[in-house]
Amino acid sequence: MNRIANAFASKTNLLNTYFTAGYPSLHDTIPLAKALVEAGADILEIGMPFSDPLADGPVIQGSSSVALANGMSIPVLFEQLQGLRAAVPETPVFLMGYLNPVMQFGVEEFCRQAAAVGVDGVILPDLPLAEYEEFYLETFKKHGLKAVFLITPQTSADRIRHLDSLSDAFLYLVSGPGTTGGTTQPDAVTQAQYFERIAALKLRNPRLIGFGIADKAGFDAACQHAEGAIIGSALIRALEDVDDAPAAAGRFVRGIKQA
C-alpha cells in the first residue's frame, strides 16, 4: 500500500505536521498522531529527539531536550509505534531526525523496525547524499522506506534533479535561510522566484514547503507554490504548558485547515 502516493493523488493543499516523539509527555506520541489526523493533518513527521539538532530552531530544540529527559529514545519510539497503524491506518508517516542516533542504533536494524511498524519514509537532513547512495540506498529500498531530501534556495538545478531522481515521496523545499521556526524570511518576490524556479524544472516528485510556516495565512501562501506545506515549530508551541496535548494539537490543525 503506497500511502504517500495515495495522499498526493487524492488531495491538494496537504498539511504535513511535525511533532517531537515523547513531547510534551513520554507517552503522547500515538495520542498526538491520532488527534492530528482526526483534525485534518494529511501527513505526519515524527521527530526523533537528538541532543544536537543542527537544522532545528530553539522551539524544536527545546522539545527534543524535554523528550530526551522524559526517556524518549529510538528503541522506546519503536515500541510505541507498534500501535501506529491501528491509530492512523492510511496516513503517510515519516521519521525525521539526524544520522548519528540512527547509526548508533544500526541503519539496517533501524530500517527493519521502521518498516515493521508501518513507517513510510525517513528524513535525515544531515545525511550526505554520496553516503546515502553508496551505503544506505539499497537498505532503504529493501525495507520499502522512502527517503526525503531537502532543497534550499542555494541548491543547484542539477542537484535538485538528482535528488528528484532518488526519491519516490516528496521534495522538502526549505522556504528560506535559517533553522526551523525562524521568523526571518526573504522578501515575497525573492521567495516566489525561488518557488517558480523549482516548478519550472518539471520534477516528478510533489513538493512540500517547510521552515517558518506558522499559521493559516502562511500555509495558504505556501500552497500556492507547492502541493502543501509543513508546520512544526508552531505546533510544538501550541503544545507548551497544556493540560491535554492531543486536544491542543487538534485545535491547532483545525485552525490551519478551516475553510
Instruction: Tell me the per-residue pLDDT of 124-176, one tens digit each, with 9 for 90 and over.
Output: 999 999 999 999 999 999 999 999 999 999 999 999 999 999 999 999 999 86
What local confidence, expressed as pLDDT, does residue 238 receive?
Answer: 98
Confidence of residue 178 (pLDDT cuts 50, 70, 90): very low
What local confidence, expressed as pLDDT, does residue 51 receive?
Answer: 86
Burial class (CB in 10 A: 0-12, 13-18, 19+), 232: buried
Neighbours of 159 (CB within 10 A): 13
Confidence of residue 53 (pLDDT cuts 50, 70, 90): low
Q: What's the pLDDT tens digit per position in 72-118?
A: 999 999 999 999 999 999 999 999 999 999 999 999 999 999 999 99
Cell 547524499, residue? 129
Is a pLDDT exceeding 70 seen at residue 1?
A: no
Q: Is 56 a catalytic residue?
A: yes
Burial class (CB in 10 A: 0-12, 13-18, 19+), 188: exposed
Specify the CATH number for the domain of residue 117. Answer: 3.20.20.70
Cα separation, 15 vs 86, in Å, equals: 21
Confidence of residue 182 (pLDDT cuts 50, 70, 90): very low
For residue 6, which phi and psi values (nearest 5 degrees)? -60, -40
Is a pLDDT exceeding 60 seen at residue 242?
A: yes
From the candidates 28, 38, 42, 45, give the one annotated as an active-site residue: 45
From the candidates 56, 120, 164, 227, give the one annotated as an active-site residue: 56
| Mean residue pLDDT across the chain | 93
Residue 236 domain boundaries = 3-257
Share of the chain above pLDDT 70, in %: 94
Q: What's the pLDDT tens digit per position in 13-27?
A: 999 999 999 999 999
Q: In total, how many domains does the chain have?
A: 1
pTM of the shown model:
0.94
CA dihedral 58, 59, 65, 66 (to 10 degrees): 150
What local confidence, expressed as pLDDT, does residue 187 receive?
Answer: 76
Q: Is 45 a catalytic residue?
A: yes
- Collapse the DSSP code of 19 into the 3-class scheme (helix H, G, I; strand E, B; otherwise coil) and give the result: strand
